Amino acid sequence: MTTHLVETEDGRVLAVDRVGDPAGRPVFLLHGMPGSRLGPFPRSSVLYRLGVLLLSFDRPGYGDSTRLPGRRVASAAADVTAIADAFSLRDFAVLGRSGGGPHALACAALLPDRVRRVAALVSLAPRHADGLDWYGGMTASNVRAYREIERGLQHIADSLQLRSQRLRDDPTGLINGLVSELPPTDRTLVADAGIRRMLLSTFRQAFRQNADGWIDDMLAFTTDWGFKVEDIAVPTRLWHGADDQFSPVDHSRWLADKIPGAELYLEPGAAHFGALKVMTEALNWAAG
């Protein structure tokens, strides 16, 4: 796996990895929050078997990608376009997990002539989604953080920067901090040595410089996304664990009701990290 640095029209740099079958069907994987281009995603041998070329990049402000101050969820479409053009990809599929879900949906809505299919696993819905209790069923720590950053409280940004400094030295701290709020199914998944190793790797890369990407994601999710999900006209698949408390399941229910023709899969007994178990199947579907 070789890292490529792709320059955008506005002079920023995006750090991109390509893994899997070089001649395979291209699929962009948009990582969670916080996260990075390092995954989690299926092993290269699995991607080869699927005939998939996976493209994963650090969102602006994460890892080795230049920050884009004031970015919106919609900004992901321009970045994906820049990467696709750099590798001469005419069309492609997009898959987003957790915080990557809204960004994947942005690509589908704004790049209808290039995105073939889109899959969003445990995605959030827009902050001011009509008829949705956005905070309903959400874990207390997430509610507290989102509400404070919505108020523009600087100490939240300062707190995230401080946490990122600690997590650069010991990324296990983020995982250990999550465990107390995880349902039993997620605790079992996070305890798996392979998954834990991937999570540690992606968190370490996410905070390689600072917490800018994390902060900008939260700001983007709680302001106008810059597009309407109702405009998505490509095949769309949504998956959600019914016991998810980080991105509550009603978010995907709302998205399924608004996106024309969207397929929604709700898995009883699964939660947020259950998305890792269905990612291979989702990639295969997205690749078409």
- Per residue in 198-246, pLDDT (tens digit) is 888 998 899 988 889 999 999 999 999 999 999 999 999 999 999 999 9
Q: What is the pLDDT of residue 277?
A: 94
Question: What's the average model confidence in pLDDT over 159-175?
Answer: 73
Percent of all residues in the chain with a pLDDT value above 90, rounded to a whole number: 77
Token digits for 236? 């769309």
DSSP H helical ranges for 170-233: 172-179, 184-191, 193-206, 212-221
What is the pTM (predicted TM-score) of this model? 0.95
pLDDT band at 174 (very low <50, low <70, confident <90, very high): low
Contacting residues for 259 by C-beta, under 8 A, at least 6 apart: 105, 229, 230, 232, 236, 238
Identify the DSSP state of 231.
G
Note the pLDDT tens digit of each residue in 70-125: 999 999 999 999 999 999 999 999 999 999 999 999 999 999 999 999 999 999 99
2-11, 147-156, 226-235: segment of lowest average pLDDT: 147-156
| Domains of the chain, CATH where assigned | 3-287 (3.40.50.1820)
Q: HSE (CB half, 13 Å, CA atoms) of 252?
A: 33
CA distance 171 to 32: 15
| CA quadruple 210, 195, 6, 80: dihedral sign | negative
For residue 173, pLDDT over 70 is answered with no
CA distance 144 to 203: 22
CA distance 17 to 202: 13
Note the pLDDT tens digit of each residue in 260-274: 999 999 999 999 999
62-66, 80-84, 178-182: segment of lowest average pLDDT: 178-182
